[in-house]
Chains A and B, each alone.
Chain A
Amino acid sequence: MSTQDGMAGDELGREGGRCEGGAEAKRRVLVVDDEAGIRELLTQFLRLKGYDVSAAATPDEALHCIESERVDVVLSDVQLAKSDGLALVAEICRRRPELPVVVLTGVILDEDVMRSDGALKIAGYVSKTEPLSQVLRALERALL
């Protein structure tokens, strides 16, 4: 697990990560993806947009992170190596029911599959084929 404060986000523009009425407390996003490239890309992007970002490669790291850190929203891939991302989402919902989860779907059909599963309280879906701005929009909607 890698947890880093967003220095670039501090120095550069702050957009979506700033709380209303205050510049100090930035929203913290937990990015969960087994692909290091995707994870790093999302981390950099969200920091540039003003978020604090924690990153996790596995469900265990993600669960440890939400237990030990302040996390405002989770952005998780549903296709994690060696495990099912939906199971992680279910566990997060069980441990932190108030914590919104946005899922990244690598395969187009995943969205339909997840929409049919009413047991999971998923705050948003974004396909990896969509632009990054959609990821940001989904996070902002989840944090409303």
Chain B
Amino acid sequence: MPTHTPRYLLPGIVTIALVACCSIALSLRALRRAEHASAWVNHTHAIVFESSSLVSSLRAGDAALKAYAAGGDPGEAGAARIAFAEVAEQFEVLRALQAATGERAPALEAATGVLQNHLASARRLLAAPDNDPGSAHTRLSGVVTMAVTSQDISRHIGKLTEFHKARLQEHDREAYRSSLAVRWAVSTGAIVTLVLLAALYGLLRGYLAERVRVQETLERANRELDARVAERTRELAAANQNLQIENLERQWACEAVQHQLRYSQLVINALGDPVCMITRDRNIVRANPAACRWTGYSEKGLIGAPLHRILRVERPTGGADTLPRDPVQDALRAGRDLVNEPGIVMAEDGSQRRVIYSLFPVRDADKVVGAVVTMHQV
């Protein structure tokens, strides 16, 4: 099962993050530009507004002055004073606003001198006595003169207004282009991000599906292996049990043999007559306790000793002597029994006792390997 992270995961995430960061940076930059442009636009609109207000106030002042010059109405004079005061104030505001832009405005500079003269003329006309006929004539002529300067002022201010309006329009076009570019960039970034996310999702889905498949395969293999191990364990346990039983049977058989041997030994030991086991060479290999008692030898002293040390066969004439041919040797070679033959048991201390002895050959696979010799006192 693959445990490592897919190779494409980190580059994919980094790419998506980069695209998203670029989109965010572009958006923030556009936002900052918009905020800055908003302040500029407000400022420019204020200039345009003040220009328009100034022209309006100027026209109102000229109209009031003209009415005052024609009728001598003091109310009109007051209205003219107020209007021209507003014009002066608005002009100062306009200059301040223009100065705040840091740019020179030739139209405003050209209007400055004309407007100041215009306002000075207005102040003079309004300062003349109301009831003086000469003053009335002077006012009328002054009003006519001022109409010309008023048109100059309006023209200069109009140029200023047009200049700023043109800049506003240019800014609007630039802002529109910029917004289109930002929108395109952000949209492209979003689309690219979505496409990358979809691709990454597809790859990860395939990767996870592969992992699940590998995991299932591994679990299936583990289950099969566990089953095989369990089956093998059962077989081994059964084989082990059989081995243990066989081993116990073997031990039991050994015990049985031991019992048989012990039983046989008990039987032999219980006999009152001497019994010896001899080899084909007539050497004693076993002797029962009666044989030891009769001869005075220990069992250890009898084992390995020749039979004739304790048993001398007797001549048929009755004299105790060795015969030219040993009947024991002949019987062993021929594999025949000797039954109730006369003999003499020779004790270690030299004492003798007459016996009859019998010899029964012992065969192993039809081959005589020894004999059992029993003795009985006559």
Show the binding face of A for B, using Cβ within 8 Å. Answer: 8, 11-13, 37-38, 41, 44-45, 48-49, 106-108, 128-133
Determine whether the beta carbon of A44 is less than 8 Å from that of B259: no
Residue of A nearest to B252 (CB): A132
CA distance in complex: A8, B260 (Å): 31
Please, how many angstroms separate the alpha-carbon atoms of A48 and B247 in the complex?
12
Among B244, B248, B251, B263, contact of A107 (Cβ-Cβ < 8 Å): B263
Please judge, given known A-B contacts A108-B263, A132-B248, A132-B249, whether A48 and B241 are in contact too, CB under 8 Å. Answer: yes
Residues of B within 8 A of A (CB): 237-238, 240-241, 244-245, 248-249, 251-253, 255-256, 259-260, 263
Contact B245 A131 (CB under 8 A): no
Which residues of chain A have C-beta atoms less than 8 A from B263's C-beta?
A: 106-108
Q: Are B248's CB and A130's CB within 8 A?
A: no
CA distance A106 to B237 in the complex (A): 33
Among the interface residues B241, B252, B259, B263, which one has the most CB atoms of the partner chain A within 10 A? B252
Which secondary structure characterizes the binding site on chain B?
helix
Q: Tell me the minimal C-beta distance from B253 to chain A in angstroms.
A: 7
CB closest residue in chain A, given B256: A129
**Which residues of B have CB within 8 Å of A41?**
248, 251-252, 255
Q: How far is the CA of A106 from the CA of B256 in the complex (A)?
A: 8
How many whole Å from B268's CB to the nearest CB in chain A?
A: 14
> In the complex the two chains form, is A128's CB within 8 Å of B237's CB?
no
Rounded to whole angstroms, the CA-CA distance of A11 and B260 in the bound complex is 35
Let me know if A12 and B255 touch, CB within 8 A. Answer: no
Taking the closest CB of chain A, its distance from the CB of B10, in whole angstroms, is: 54
Let me know if B249 and A131 touch, CB within 8 A: yes
CB-CB nearest in chain B for A11: B237
- Expressed in whole angstroms, the Cα–Cα distance for A131 and B263 within the complex equals 17
- Give the residues in chain B near A133, CB-CB below 8 Å: 249
B260 CB contacts on chain A under 8 angstroms = 129
Contact between B259 and A106, CB atoms less than 8 A apart: yes
Contacting pair A12 B237 (CB below 8 A)? yes
**Which residues in A have their C-beta under 8 angstroms from that of B244?**
8, 12, 44, 48
Contacts of A129 in B (CB 8 A): 256, 259-260
Residues of chain B with a CB closer than 8 A to A8's CB: 244
- CB-based contact A37/B255 at 8 Å: yes
**B237's closest neighbor in chain A, by CB?**
A12
Q: Are A48 and B248 in contact (CB under 8 A)?
A: yes
